[in-house]
Structure 1
Amino acid sequence: MHGLGQLSTPYALENGGWASIFLLVGLGIMCAYTANIIGRCLDEEPSSKTYQDIGQQAFGSKGRLIASAFIYLEIFFALVSYTISLSDNIPLVFAGVRLHLPWLRLSTTQLLTVIAVLVALPSLWLRNLSSISFLSFAGILMSMVIFVTILCTAAFSNVGLGKHIPVLRLDKIPTVSGLYMFSYAGHIVFPNIYTVMKDPSSFTKVSVTSFSMVAVLYTGLAFVGASLFGPTVNSQVTLSMPPGLLVTKVALWATVLTPVTKYALEFAPFAIQLEHHLPATMGPRARIIIRGSIGSAGLLLILALALSVPYFQYVLSLTGSLVSVAISVIFPCAFYLKIRWDRLSRPVVVLNAAMIAVGFVLAVVGTASSAKLLVKSIQNGHVA
């Protein structure tokens, strides 16, 4: 979720206040820890290869079912958020372009978004994982490009630093926590990374290093973006960048291309599970057709939803609070306690129980706050 998370951190910091940066760092530390204990759960059962396997290992078939449901929810909401981001940024990339189809009641922005999604649609039919891994590299590259362009804007543009931001806005923290939490969402892929490592014992070092780098990147981007644009910062920092600058054009293109690289990657876990449930007698061509058709139908549904609910910050915050907190904090701690209960020291049990409690509080208050704001925005949009 790296690409989406970094777009929202300046907005989250400005809304939560300077002190909310401690929440961003604290959640990063919590997620680094839960990534580590996922590796320890996998140590207990060599046959476990996926996040769902750990759920089954801990709580049986119910654990697998709940883990699967939350994973698919996270994938679905993430794809909706990517599409909203695409819709928000694409009219700036194609400024001046006007499209109109008399038989379709869609605006130019909506038509551009539809075209971009249709361009990305064939990637869902890819079955070669090496092709999908190339898309992963492209997505990481786009994220780094966005980060560099924000730094260049701060260094070389006429936008001044030092905009007024309050120390803390407690009333905004529930929504901000969801945005921050979404930034660290990625735990569903850690079991796959662990199982393909030549030396799984180095997983702890790799996970801690990765989260440290991400936390530093997010913190730096949040400070720079919030300082640059202050109260005028948008929910996606690229929308606040000065128009006409080369770095702004590069950032907008990178933001538009990021969803295009993510659709196949986000859909891959569902596609793999789908293929496992198809009859063994089914031929390769039929498998590809079924997989591609279901993926295409799902993406078109996501497109329709994204165009109907174009409220990026609230959808992202709702996803972080409702789903990401569970997958990245609550479930790993619960799995770890259940699997290794008889070998854990009292302090470790207390630590994991406390993290579950903190995660539950963040999930409840964050979901309530972001859902309320989302519903209010939809109602206001309909009235307008």
Structure 2
Amino acid sequence: MFMGKNCWKSIPDCLANWRPQVASSETVVHAEQKESGCNGCLEENKLCQCIDDCEVGEKEVVEHDHATNANSSFGHSVINMVGMLIGLGQLSTPYALQNGGWASVFLLVGLGIVCAYSSHLLGRCLDKNPKLMNYSDIGHQAFGTKGRVLATSFIYLEIFMALVSYTISLHDNLTIAFFGLKLRSITNLGLSTSQSLTVVAVLVALPSLWLRDLSSISFLSSGGILMSFVIFTTVACTAVFRLGGVTANRGIPILRIDNVPAISGLYIFSFAGHIVFPDIYKGMKDPSEFTKVSIVSFSFVTMLYTALAFMGAKMFGAEINSQITLSMPLSLIVTKIALWATVLTPMTKYALEFAPFAMQLERNLPNHLKPRTKMIVRGGIGSLLLLVILVLALSIPYFEYVLSLTGSLVSVGICIIFPCAFYTKVFWSKISKPLLVLNVILILVGCLLGFFGTISSSKLLLRNLHRAHPSP
């Protein structure tokens, strides 16, 4: 349907070669490497131009790498972008629609359009300066060092908070998948069965953080894409064939305006993927088609989210869970498939999401250290961070509120505010007045959604934490 002629014949090959997240991991630190290896390129509001001073041999290597990597067809690029966008967000869209009312679907669709537009703006910034390699580079081009630091900080914060949400999802779905199981030997240590299962699952995924071969890490990404489509298919089958006696006839309120700030964060997070879009752009054979790729990808994902949201809300109504997989009848085989698909998805994400931290850490280690020592330091710190995330996820087991907070606090900046601000600054002397007004409006709307969404989701999260742990 949306695959190019090079992809429809061999879907497994396309998935096996899918590497946008890993590419992002490499290029997040690329800008840092440029600054550390050059002199005199820190002038405010100008991108480091030191590559022009590099030796001819180094320039040939860069050009060769770019020519080798820029081989993605239109269809392959669409697959990459769709695969990046579909994730945790699809689990929560039915819950968000039910709590916001069916009229909130206009917010969902509107955010999809806005995020597609902001993706186009990132592509325009990359068009102007071919030396821009990643999201942080665009921030540096627009606002200098401050822009780079702000963009990089938001990228790392989004990755960290998303991993906490992934681990909460892992915990919730494992609890249902192993319903009735008792692990007495572990619960004697003070952990519940569900917490013990989560600890075991995270420990199983822990060795993936020690991988240094990026091709091995990228192999995990294809599994995440497939799991997302498996989840959608199982929910659709349950609704269409009325499996387990489930009928899609529940009522959905028109609009719950007081819930809109909180659910806006869930909707925004569903379209989070902009940090990887520069890598998709750089990997295209014909970058001029990037805007078309964005339109096709966001249209497909928005339609999928809308269909899933209405199916879930009509199937379960007010009883809908924050994750659609937790509302499905436990006795159904499709439910078990959906649960395990949701469990496996986070386990494929840890190494991918940690790659930026790992490579930045390794670059900052002393050069005299042996490769084995660097691997031990990198893997050890990565393992420690994952254990911190595990503790946070078990201490704050409120998936919808953490995900909403992530969307409102971080993703809205990366997906809406920053792209509009970067583009406006970079093209200030050429931007038309209508486009300037549009960008300013979107920046203000993004700030309002982020502000009220952060307050709303924070209040809900603190309220539930207080109920779970009342003060004496």
Whole-Å separation in 2 of the counterparts to 1:76 and 1:138: 21
Match of 1:51 among 113, 131, 135: 135
2:407 is paired with a residue whose SS is: helix
Larger CA deviation: 68-77 vs 97-106: 97-106
Deviation per residue, 1:231-279 (Å, 9 max, x gap): 0000000000011100000000001111001111111222232233333
What's the secondary structure of 1:47's corresponding residue? coil
Once the two structures are TM-superposed, the CA of residue 102 in structure 1 deviates from its matched residue by: 6.2
Tell me: CA distance 1:110–1:23, structure 2 relative to 1, closer, same or farther (3 Å).
same
- 2:194 matched to 1:109? yes
2:177 corresponds to 1:90: no
Alpha-carbon distance in 2 for matches of 1:330, 1:248 = 38
AA matched with 1:92: I
Structure-1 residue corresponding to 2:101: 17
Alignment root-mean-square deviation, CA = 1.3
Amino acid paired to 1:20: S
User: Counterparts of 1:8-157 in structure 2 under 5 Å?
Assistant: 8-100=92-184, 101=186, 104-156=189-241, 157=243
**Aligned residue among 179, 182, 185 for 2:266:** 179
Secondary structure (helix, strand or coil) at the match of 1:3 reads: coil
Is residue 2:449 matched to residue 1:365? no
Deviates more, 1:286-295 or 1:311-320: 286-295
In structure 2, the residue matched to 1:355 is 442
Residues 177-186 or 193-202, more deviating:
193-202
Kept in 1, the 8 Å contact 2:187–2:193? The answer is: no
1:216 aligns with 2:303: yes
Q: Does 1:296 align with 2:383?
A: yes
1:377 aligns with 2:377: no
Aligned to 2:82: none
Question: Residues 119-146 of structure 1, C-alpha deviation per residue, up to 9 Å, x if partnerless?
Answer: 0011111122222222111001000000
Partner secondary structure for residue 164 of structure 1:
coil
TM-score w.r.t. length of structure 2: 0.80
**Identity, % of aligned positions:** 65
Matches of 2:103 and 2:429 in 1, distance apart? 39
* Alignment correspondent of 1:5: 89
From the two aligned structures, give the one with the greater helix fraction: 1
Measure, in 1, the Cα distance between the counterparts of 2:128 and 2:368: 34
CA distance in 2, matches of 1:62, 1:278: 24
- Mapped to 2, the partners of 1:40 and 1:271 lie a distance apart of 30
Return the letter of the residue paired with 1:68: T
Distance 1:62 1:275 in 2: 23
Task: Find the counterpart in structure 2 of residue 248 from structure 1.
Answer: 335
2:92 and 2:400 in contact (8 A); partners too: yes
Unaligned runs of 5+ in 2: 1-84
SS class of match (1:235): coil
The offset of 1:103, in angstroms, is: 5.5
Residues of 2 paired with 1:191 and 1:152: CA distance?
Answer: 36
Counterpart CA distance in 2 for 1:102 and 1:381 is 19
Which residue is equivalent to 1:342? Answer: 429
1:92 is paired with a residue whose SS is helix
Check 1:280–1:49 CA distance in 2 against 1; reply closer, same or farther (3 A cut): farther
| Of 205, 212, 227, the match for 2:292 | 205
C-alpha distance in 1 between matches for 2:353 and 2:362: 16
Partner Cα separation in structure 2 for residue 39 and residue 270 of structure 1: 25
**In the alignment, which residue of structure 2 is the partner of 1:236?**
323
Partner of 1:332: 419
Q: Distance in 2 between matches of 1:273 and 1:50?
A: 15
Over residues 165-213 of structure 1, what are the superposed CA-to-partner deviations in whole Å (9 max), with x where a residue is unaligned? Answer: 1110000000010000000001111111112222211111112111111
Q: 2:189 and 2:325 mapped to 1: Cα distance?
A: 29
Q: Is the 8 A contact 2:94 2:312 kept in 1?
A: yes
In structure 1, runs of 5+ residues without a counterpart are none
In structure 2, distance between residues paired with 1:210 and 1:129: 25
Does the CA contact (< 8 Å) of 2:187 and 2:196 recur in 1? no
* Paired residue type of 2:224: G
Number of positions where the alignment pairs a residue of Structure 1 with one of Structure 2: 384
Distance 2:310 2:166 in 1: 23
1:318 maps to 2:402: no
Which gives a bigger RCO, structure 1 or 2 (Cα 8 Å, sep 6+)? Answer: 1
Shift in CA distance, 106/254, structure 1 to aligned 2, threshold 3 Å: same
Structure 1 residue 96: Cα displacement = 2.6
